[in-house]
Chains A and B, each alone.
Chain A
Amino acid sequence: MHRSSEVKHVASYLNTRGCECFGQPCESHCPVLTDRTIHVQLKTFIKIRVKPDRTGVVTDGVKHSMNPFCEIAVEEAIKLKEKKLVKEVVAVSCGPQQVQETIRTALAMGADRGIHVEVSGKDYETLGPLQVSKIFAALAKKEQADLIILGKQAIDDDCNQTGQITAALLDWPQGTFASEMTLEADKLKVVREVDGGLETIKINLPAVVTADLRLNTPRYATLPNIMKAKKKKIANVKPADLGVDVCSRLEVLKVDEPPQRQAGVKVETVDDLVGKLKEAGRV
């Protein structure tokens, strides 16, 4: 497919699953999150509870908000538009009616229009990266997107798969864990945060990029933009319209709270310590 040098279309995919950080300090559950995100978690004042039937966590009445990494993805897309490197930013989210609020937040930040892929009820409970990736891939083809930016992972399930699967389904290159991205003609330079440090890659467009924490600092919506967001369109689409089957290939056997922290044991000498470790089968 002929690709013009100007990127026409950036789709920014949002995850709007709830913040379900099990009430524990964030460092233990989501080691990659830093102060800013932890601040968001603790301020929600909600204790996450496992449902009595142990199929998941209680989400009724829990305030849902845009996944922090997706906020960063939206911000990056809007920055590209402000630099006039892209023509249009489309914000997409999959889920029940409430996700429209999150799409509106993206519109208030500066996205041009939204697409709400309606998935509700049982389908929503079992919605996972594979189905979402199929939806995104189908939409990308339909919308003729040139660039997809998503958060690197959702902070509720921490899957870190959607970006990668979407790229594979589309057979597009991917730049994951991006802490910097630059459009150079029709190539994308992405600096990735990897275990060993920073890796810089150059990928062709169209491509998928997943946003990491240091990519940017998302803006606060301005009041005039919040007002403009009201007039922007959010289209409604069903997975079936895109030819996607949202049936899950995974069955959740059970969901448990993390084990209660046990008290430690104090030992007198190093020998005692080694002895105890051997007993516990750790050495």
Chain B
Amino acid sequence: MAALFKARRALGMAVGHGVRCLSQLAELPELHQMMRQTCRDYAQKELAPIAAQLDKDHKFPAKQVKELGAMGVMAVEVPESLGGAGMDYLAYCLAVEELSRGCASTGVIVSVNNSLYLGPILKFGTEEQKKQWITPFTTGERVGCFALSEPGNGSDAGAASTLAQQEGDEWVLSGTKAWITNCWDASATVVFATTDKSLKHKGISAFLVPMPHPGLSLGKKEDKLGIRASSTANIILEDCRIPLGNMLGERGMGFKIAMQTLDSGRLGIAAQALGIAQAALDCSADYAHKRTAFGAPIGKLQAIQFKLADMALAIESARLLTWRAAMLRDAKKPFTKEAAMAKLAASEAATFVSHQAIQVLGGMGYVTDMPAERHYRDARITEIYEGTSEIQRLVIANNILKEYQQ
């Protein structure tokens, strides 16, 4: 706990961006500290002890999701009037990090519900849509999912081939969506389909579809390397009919909705990656104290010390980027570049730290008796979903070039 205390005292960068000054990075506000501690306690007591078993059984933590719903964590940014906790994005990132430190799968379930499902509806939904599609999804009783990727396009989101055709007072959706997190456990989804292929990405629109629903079926649950307690599968739409009122935002707005949603969503994934990395570091540092070799705890060896230092540095740097991006978003400033940097840094930190954690643990890192191997498997996906590391680099580069526009 002492190490974590010190880790919170980060260097403050004296740049004032809106209401939340960056010197606040040095010390989180009391509210956020309390909230972080609550999530940490919950993760340590309720998630960490069952994480290995959930991973083995590929089991959705329904009970824990309901408990987190009761705590307000499944809808952190949703206003209280709609049943949420009414807190800011920084609080949400802290929550996801702490929960992921206990169980990465639970972290992504929380993140997808908050950022990818509730996020776009909160931003682009009508009052009616918010009541119908948000409030029931704040309690943990129901979770939502986000269907953008297809078997034919992931990074190339603008090439959506799922069709949405208007027939009278209904939209008819057809096509297949791939890699949808939460889908086997979800009660609704935000689906992206093209209403006009000739307009390319400007022809994509967003739709709200309840689950289960006639015309919507689920593919087989993917057998993944990590985050196994969260379900991932295809969503197959065949003559799936929904009322016209189920369109989210304006016609043709879908791509914009998707991109803006992912901008925020990637902070949730950054937070998840931080949690995984932190758990891996916890494991390594603990082992460094206990394991003796050459007559002393291995923590005394410089080789191990250098690893621990590099691991901690990677995590802390990524954490500051994540907090900064979240604070910019809360201050309603542009945050796309910072969010991409945060997700890139955090996911690469997670894979680096979990890789080194296995190294520190040696043989013990390779077996399921220790959590290091699970962190290694869980970390890998963070460099892929919600924008691959390559896409993040493109986003950052584009923003830099814009800044230096001649």
Contacts and interface: CB of A to CB of B under 8 A. Distances in A.
B1 A224 contact: no
B73 interface: yes
A104 B34 contact: yes
Interface string B77-91: 000100001110001
Interface in A20-36: 36
Nearest to A61: B2
Nearest to B49: A39
A280 to B, nearest CB: 32
Contact of B34 (A39, A62, A105): A105
B19 interface: no
A223 B76 contact: yes
B72 interface: yes
A183 to B, nearest CB: 25
A220 B34 contact: no
B44 interface: yes
A46 B6 CA distance: 14
Nearest to B45: A39
Contacts, number: 63
Interface in B125-164: none
Chain B contact residues: helix, strand, loop or mixed:
helix
A251 B165 CA distance: 85
Given A63-B1, A108-B34, A220 B85 contact: no
A220 B42 CA distance: 7
Given A63-B5, A226-B31, A227-B31, 18 more contacts: A36-B45, A39-B45, A63-B1, A101-B34, A104-B30, A105-B34, A108-B34, A108-B38, A220-B42, A220-B67, A220-B71, A222-B71, A223-B76, A223-B85, A223-B91, A224-B72, A224-B80, A227-B85
Interface in B347-366: none
Contact of A224 (B2, B86, B286): B86
A32 to B, nearest CB: 19
A46 B44 CA distance: 16
A227 B1 contact: no
Contact of A45 (B1, B73, B95): B1
A221 B86 contact: no
B312 interface: no
The 8 A-B pairs with the shortest beta carbon distances in the complex, nearest first, are A223-B72, A223-B85, A222-B71, A63-B1, A222-B72, A44-B1, A221-B38, A226-B34
Nearest to B40: A43
Interface string B26-67: 000011001100100110110001000000000000000001
Contacts of B95: 223
A229 interface: yes
A230 interface: yes
B23 to A, nearest CB: 21
Contacts of B45: 36, 39-40
Interface bin, chain B: 20 to 34
A62 B2 CA distance: 7
Interface in A53-88: 61-63
A23 to B, nearest CB: 12
Nearest to B68: A220
B3 interface: yes
Contacts of A222: 70-72, 85
Interface string B325-347: 00000000000000000000000
Contacts of A40: 45
Contacts of A45: 1-3, 286
Contacts of B3: 45
A224 B67 CA distance: 14
17 contacts: A40-B45, A43-B1, A45-B2, A45-B3, A46-B2, A63-B1, A101-B34, A104-B34, A220-B42, A220-B67, A223-B35, A223-B38, A224-B86, A226-B34, A226-B35, A227-B86, A230-B30
Given A63-B1, A227-B31, A230-B30, A220 B86 contact: no
Q: Which of B34, B73, B80, B87 has the most CB of A within 10 A?
A: B34
A63 B67 CA distance: 26
Nearest to B87: A223
Contacts of B87: 223, 227
A101 B80 CA distance: 25
Nearest to B92: A223
Given A45-B1, A45-B3, A227-B87, A220 B41 contact: yes
A220 B31 contact: no
A44 B286 CA distance: 12
Nearest to B46: A220
Nearest to B5: A63
A263 B212 CA distance: 64
Q: Which of A108, A221, A223, A226 has the most CB of B within 10 A?
A: A223
Interface string A83-115: 000000000000000000100110010000000
A229 B72 CA distance: 15
B128 to A, nearest CB: 24
Contacts of B42: 220
Interface string A228-245: 011000000000000000
Contacts of B5: 61, 63
Contacts of B2: 45-46, 61-63
Nearest to B91: A223
Interface string B1-26: 11101000000000000000000000
B1 A223 contact: no
Contacts of A61: 2, 5
Contacts of A43: 1, 44
Contacts of B72: 222-224
Contact of A223 (B30, B41, B44, B73): B73
A105 B286 CA distance: 28
B384 to A, nearest CB: 30
Nearest to B6: A61
A44 B1 CA distance: 5
A224 B87 CA distance: 8
